[in-house]
Structure 1
Amino acid sequence: MGIEVGGVLVLIVLIADVWAIVNVAQSAAGTGAKVAWIVLILLLPVLGLLIWLIAGPRG
């Protein structure tokens, strides 16, 4: 049962990360800021997403 729950959590994090990356790419922030946020989200999927939600660029 643990594998199914883990798989669902990974899928949720993946969907949230893709959503965050799309939002970063569509934001009005500069290219350097966009690249930095995307790299942070890719390297630290959960923590990067949380940091972006709190301090990320606002549209």
Structure 2
Amino acid sequence: MGRLLSLLILVLDVIVIVDIVKSNKDNEKKILWVIAVVLLPVLGPVLYYAIGRK
């Protein structure tokens, strides 16, 4: 069960990072969001979709 949850979190993080890289944001904002997603693997994507994405 733990492995499945870890895999789902990893897939979600990769999807969010690809979305961040493809966005029209400044490079500085992209880097900050990627760092947030990497350092906060569960909370980072939630924050990005709630705050960072238009």
Q: TM-score range by the shorter chain?
A: over 0.9
Question: How many Å apart are 1:53 and its aligned residue?
Answer: 1.4
Structure exhibiting the larger radius of gyration computed from Cα positions:
1
Question: Which blocks of at least 5 consecutive residues in structure 2 are unaligned?
Answer: none
Question: Which segments of structure 1 move beyond 4 Å, counting only runs of 4 or more?
Answer: none
**Equivalenced residues, count:** 54
The 1-side partners of 2:8 and 2:38 are apart by 15
Question: How many Å apart are 1:51 and its aligned residue?
Answer: 0.5
Q: Which residue of 2 aligns with 1:28?
A: 24
Q: How far does the alpha carbon of each residue in 1:1-52 deviate from its partner, in whole angstroms, 9 at most, with x for none? A: xxxx110000000000000000000000000000000000000000111101
Question: Which blocks of at least 5 consecutive residues in structure 1 are unaligned?
Answer: none
The 2-side partners of 1:45 and 1:14 are apart by 8
How do 1:1-59 residues align onto structure 2 when only pairs under 5 Å count?
5-58=1-54
